[in-house]
Amino acid sequence: MEFRVLGPVGVWNRGAEVPLDGAKQRTVLAALLLSGGRALPDSRLCELLWGEHPPATYPAQIYNYVSRLRKYLGPDVDIRRQWSGYMIHPGDGRLDLAEFERLATLGREAQENHRYEEAADAFHAALALWRGPALMNVTEFLARAETHRLAEMRMAVLERRVETDLLLGRYAQLVPELTRLVGEYPLHEKLRCQLMTALFRTERQADALAVYHEGRRVLAEELGVEPGPTLAATFRAILTAEPARTGGPSVVASSWHAVRPAMLPPAIGDFTGRAAELSALAEVLTGDHACAAQVTGMAGIGKTALALFAAHRDRDRFPDGQLYADLGGNRGNAVEPQEVLGWFLRSLGNAEPSIPRGLDERVRLYRSHLAGRRMLVVLDDAADDAQVRPLLPGEAGCRVLVTSRVSLSDLPGAAVVEVGTLGTAEAVDLLAAVVGKRRVANEPAAARRIVRLCGWLSLGIRVAGSRLVARPHWSLAYFAERLADEQYRLDELRLGTLDVRARLDGSYLALASQSQLALRRLALLEVPHFASWATAAVLGVPRRTGDEVTENLVDARMLEVTGTDGGRRQRHRFHDLVRVFAREKADHVDRMAVAASRVLTTAN
């Protein structure tokens, strides 16, 4: 069975097309295929099907679309319900996008190892899989979310394929194709450089220079900018007839300006543990299977420290530089992608007047700068997928690390690194790294008690250690006694800008009011964990609504899933510091409501 999204969305089985009902059913199929093997929430499917105005019956309609897909695709394709969404396992089915990415990777490896014939064959085969613009027959909402990304992927491979054909001396064959492409993409400077090179190599120097002057005019009229460094360098090389015409295939040398951005903040010197998570990030930064990784986990768990440590450890693999931005996603001041692109473009050597104002123009200029380069981009504290997508490079040689408290489901192909609390040994090692090994060795039991009262949370342990450093006359046992009082625990875990309560408050304020109410009331339950129906009970709402609120709290990393109750329903618990925080927020009405719900005696 063959699944196609690079053109009209469809399914082919043994050479015959499988009939599908229409655009919305094809949208569901394409969205599941593009989710990279992860569950796609109902809420996201709803957005891709109906935008901001879904029908009241959208859950039933999604269920019907999925049911009919199961019928049409047969038992070999597994579409299953997971949490509050769906995921697809195509079995032995072949997705044209996956094959495109595989061939592109083979071509890139062959090109980098100077096996140009092999590289050209792989790139040509990859591009032959496209049967027109991607996702031609889906809803406008899915097309708007995905087609630009897919088009950028195709353009990156097309650029490499043309570059390889130039290296093989196929100048005459390339001139008509590149002339058409430059007409279609007049602002794309790399294609224009490649056309100029092909024209020069076919003894058409005047035509090559004319292509440059036309490009300069278009850039000035459309964007108000001068040609970039690569286009300008190509013009100078042709003007002075510097490119060699004999001695084997070569192209006009590109010129990367002297700016090498190095924007990474300093790594934490006393970083401790996280061997498994570091290994997963190393696979992304040094391997070929994924170009991006999202590092997720609750507030204060150590996502940023982990990402920066991994970035510094492998930064030598990115000789063209490292870009970094704090996106402010969970502090109520999320930065617009357009502003971040302005920071990046200035760091890449663009003068302020030359930076376009529009988001799309900035994205194109940014990706043009990164084309053919090996750069690392670290995006810290992302709010959602929409904030991240414009900041992704279009070049497979670059790598991206994204940290976020929420799972970014719309970043296909990104590896997910879930960061949990530290183990006791790692937590004690971190405390020792902050306060000193001798001080911890003198009071090992008190050290273990401190990390337990901090909930094995990296930020809590770091704050606790910093307070002990600031008060060398305190014993660890004395500080553990101070932490033991829940009423003042979060006060103890605050020192300057390091503040556990403030980090949790950012996650709390991002919740809807009903989820905030549920969090406060669930925290009042005197049980270690509780069944999924407890949310409905404390809110006084139908069980289905309660389940949805519970899932929202799990997605926001304010609740943890501990398992099931023996049936289909899950059980949940609080991280200790989240429970302390939520109880602080609870008022008299919350306490009365929980008492009235009788959950206190039945939830466990």
Question: What pLDDT shows up at residue 255?
Answer: 35
pLDDT, average across residues 265-293: 83
The answer, yes or no, to whether residue 247 has pLDDT greater than 60, is no
Question: What pLDDT shows up at residue 332?
Answer: 58
| Cα–Cα dist 419/298, whole Å | 8
| Cα–Cα dist 455/302, whole Å | 13
Confidence of residue 259 (pLDDT cuts 50, 70, 90): low
Determine which of 46-60, 277-291, 438-452, 516-530 has the lowest per-residue pLDDT on average.
277-291
- Cβ–Cβ under 8 Å, residues 85 and 42: yes
Confidence of residue 252 (pLDDT cuts 50, 70, 90): very low
- Cβ–Cβ under 8 Å, residues 27 and 49: yes
Q: Where are the domains of the chain?
A: 1-154, 169-255, 275-418, 424-498, 510-602
Question: What pLDDT shows up at residue 555?
Answer: 87
H-helix or E-strand spanning residue 190: helix 189-201
**Span 57-88, pLDDT tens digits:** 998 999 999 999 999 988 888 989 887 889 99
List own/partner pairs for 541-548 with CB under 8 A and 24 or more apart: 546/518, 547/84, 548/84
Percent of the chain with pLDDT over 70: 94
| Cα–Cα dist 428/547, whole Å | 37
- The CA dihedral of 83, 88, 92, 98, to the nearest 10 degrees, is -120
The answer, yes or no, to whether residue 414 has pLDDT greater than 60, is yes
Who has greater pLDDT, 349 or 33? 33
Closest CA to 222 of 365, 391, 366, 371: 365
Q: Do domains 169-255 and 275-418 have the same CATH topology?
A: no
Copy the structure tokens of residue 147: 């087609």
Question: What pLDDT shows up at residue 568?
Answer: 63
The answer, yes or no, to whether residue 256 has pLDDT greater than 50, is no
Confidence of residue 565 (pLDDT cuts 50, 70, 90): low
Report the half-sphere exposure of 528 (CA within 13 A, side-chain side): 2
| Cα–Cα dist 445/424, whole Å | 12
Q: What 3-state class would DSSP assign to 404?
A: strand
CB burial of 38-62 (b: ≥16 within 10 Å; e: otherwise) equals: bbbbbbbbbbbbbeeebeeeeeebb
Indicate the residue type of 526. E
Sheet-wide strand order for 399-404: 322-326, 376-380, 399-404, 292-296, 415-418
Q: Which CATH architecture has domain 275-418?
A: 3-Layer(aba) Sandwich (3.40)
What's the CATH code, domain 1-154? 1.10.10.10
CB burial of 441-454 (b: ≥16 within 10 Å; e: otherwise) equals: eebeebbbbbbebb
The answer, yes or no, to whether residue 320 has pLDDT greater than 90, is no
The CATH number fitting domain 510-602, selected from 1.20.1260.10, 3.30.2350.10, 1.10.10.10, 3.40.190.10: 1.10.10.10
pLDDT, average across residues 467-494: 92
| Cα–Cα dist 77/75, whole Å | 5
Question: What pLDDT shows up at residue 94?
Answer: 92
H-helix or E-strand spanning residue 494: strand 494-495
Q: What 3-state class would DSSP assign to 380?
A: strand
Q: How far is CA 388 from CA 55, 277, 368, 381, 465, in A?
A: 28, 22, 18, 10, 34
Specify the CATH class of 169-255 in words.
mainly alpha
| Cα–Cα dist 199/235, whole Å | 12
- Cβ–Cβ under 8 Å, residues 92 and 74: no
- Cβ–Cβ under 8 Å, residues 450 and 479: yes
**Span 533-561, pLDDT tens digits:** 888 888 888 988 988 999 889 888 899 88
